[in-house]
């Protein structure tokens, strides 16, 4: 399949780039002794799992359908976490889960009897320290509903759980900042750590970022694990798939209102939602910092402020020209929606041998099926 002839919009996942990240994950595991489970809330495109599975130990979820997907399509360890489980949720996931992590003491109490024989149980803890670039994504922000604060814990919880989960990072590229939080956990929760079997340190540790000191991170993790005699887990999502995927779009019109806007056949609200939510502009492969032709890259949705970025090019854009919006894997395909009834991007996978494989494409019937029978 020749990618030059593919109809936009579409995602193109590069297996070579994915393997580059996975090799770093493999190195971190070997040096630290930690286990790594893929965070499906970030990336669930299961057509790539055959590439990922040899490198990671399983999956972790944030909802019942993710648990089932991980169990059916990935295998290994299946970790189930939710901010709030209903009774029906627990019944659905308990037979598929190796670990079930509760968000609160009341949830643990409510569901303990029904699932204690099925899985190793855990509790999410709020360490009250974090490293996150966006307040919206900060797990320990004021009045956070995520996890139990230390002041509410007592040793009786150890009669019910074998593990804790701390999630306190979001795209944290600073290894020293992470180590400082790790030392805080080591000191503050010392009375619990020596009696637990496992501890998850969550995701958001950007160990695949260029020049990230993996050895330093691994050393800190190994020292912590040995000090407390505990199995550590990390829950990478973005770190596994960063810089692997382009959202490829076409320019379908150029309009001008003081600024020139190239309208493309995609939308942030429908296809790259975090661009809008977090106000993080997309990067365009064809753009140039020294370009003399500035454009707003605008979407074809009816939302007035829906644009991918403002950037510049070495030559004027033309209608029909393709643009590659880079680093478009994390929190994109898992958040696709049908706003405006726009055509949803197809998903392709460029394999190591250069062949392009279609993983999924979407039709009007898929759109209609979300709205009724």
Coil, helix or strand at residue 186: helix
User: Any bridge partners for residue 257, and if so which?
Assistant: 259
- CATH fold of 3-11+244-369: Lyase, Ornithine Decarboxylase; Chain A, domain 1 (2.40.37)
Which residues in the chain belong to E strands, given as ranges? 10-14, 35-39, 58-60, 77-81, 99-102, 120-126, 131-132, 148-149, 163-166, 169-170, 198-200, 231-234, 245-257, 259-264, 293-298, 307-313, 322-325, 346-350, 356-360
Q: Tell me which architecture the domain covering 15-241 has in CATH.
A: Alpha-Beta Barrel (3.20)
What pLDDT is recorded for position 368? 97
The stretches of the chain forming alpha helices (DSSP H) are 15-32, 49-52, 64-69, 87-93, 105-115, 175-188, 190-193, 214-228, 238-241, 268-271, 273-277, 364-369
pLDDT tens sequence for the chain (373 residues): 777 789 999 999 999 999 999 999 999 999 999 999 999 999 999 999 999 999 999 999 999 999 999 999 999 999 999 999 999 999 999 999 999 999 999 999 999 999 988 899 999 999 999 999 889 999 999 999 999 999 999 999 999 999 999 999 998 999 999 999 999 999 999 999 999 999 999 999 999 999 999 999 999 999 999 999 999 999 999 999 999 999 999 999 999 999 999 999 999 999 999 999 999 999 999 999 999 999 999 999 999 999 999 999 999 999 999 999 999 999 999 999 999 999 999 999 999 999 999 999 999 999 999 999 8
Tell me how far CA of residue 294 lies from CA of 260, 308, 309, 310, 316, in angstroms.
7, 14, 11, 7, 9
197, 161 in Cβ contact below 8 A?
no
What is this structure's pTM? 0.96
Q: How far apart are CA 150 and CA 91, in angstroms?
A: 29
Predicted confidence at residue 95, as pLDDT, reads 95
pLDDT at 207: 98
Domain boundaries, the chain: 3-11+244-369, 15-241
DSSP state for residue 221 in the 8-state scheme: H
- For residue 130, CA distances in Å to 71, 144, 179 come to 30, 12, 11
Supply the pLDDT for residue 116: 87
117: Cβ contacts below 8 Å, ≥ 6 apart: none
- Rounded to whole angstroms, what are the CA distances from 213 to 48, 56, 181, 226, 273? 27, 20, 17, 21, 31
What pLDDT shows up at residue 57?
98
């Amino acid at each position: 399949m020749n990618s030059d002839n593919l109809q936009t919009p579409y995602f193109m996942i590069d297996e070579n780039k994915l393997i580059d990240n996975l090799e770093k994950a493999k190195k971190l595991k070997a040096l630290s002794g930690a286990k790594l489970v893929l965070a499906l809330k970030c990336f669930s495109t299961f057509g790539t799992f055959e590439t990922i599975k040899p490198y990671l130990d399983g999956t972790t979820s944030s909802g019942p359908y993710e648990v089932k997907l991980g169990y059916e399509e990935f295998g290994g360890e299946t970790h189930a976490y939710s901010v709030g489980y209903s009774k029906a949720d627990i019944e659905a996931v308990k037979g598929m889960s190796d670990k079930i992590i509760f968000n609160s003491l009341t949830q643990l109490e409510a569901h303990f009897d029904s699932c204690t024989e099925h899985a190793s149980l855990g509790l999410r803890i709020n360490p009250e320290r974090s490293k996150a670039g966006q307040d919206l994504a900060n797990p320990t922000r004021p009045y956070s509903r995520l996890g139990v604060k230390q002041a509410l814990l007592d040793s009786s919880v150890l009669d019910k759980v074998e593990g804790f989960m701390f999630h306190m990072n979001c795209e944290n590229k600073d290894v020293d900042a992470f180590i400082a939080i790790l030392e805080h956990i080591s000191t503050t929760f010392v009375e619990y750590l020596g009696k637990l079997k496992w501890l998850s340190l969550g995701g958001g540790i950007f160990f695949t970022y260029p020049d990230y000191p993996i050895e330093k991170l691994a050393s800190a993790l190994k020292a912590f694990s040995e000090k407390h005699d505990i199995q550590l887990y990390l829950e990478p999502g973005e770190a596994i798939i960063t810089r692997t995927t382009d959202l490829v779009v076409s320019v379908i019109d150029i309009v001008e209102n003081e600024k020139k806007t190239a309208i493309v056949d995609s939308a942030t609200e429908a296809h790259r939602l975090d661009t809008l939510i977090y106000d993080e502009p997309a990067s365009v492969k064809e753009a140039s910092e020294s370009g003399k032709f500035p454009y707003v890259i605008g979407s074809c949705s009816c939302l007035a402020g829906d644009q991918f970025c403002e950037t510049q090019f070495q030559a004027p854009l033309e209608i029909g020209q393709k643009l590659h919006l880079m680093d478009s894997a994390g929190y994109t395909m898992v958040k696709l929606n049908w706003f405006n009834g726009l055509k949803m991007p197809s998903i392709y996978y460029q394999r190591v041998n250069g062949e392009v494989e279609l993983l999924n494409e979407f039709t009007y019937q898929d759109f209609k099926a979300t709205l009724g029978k």
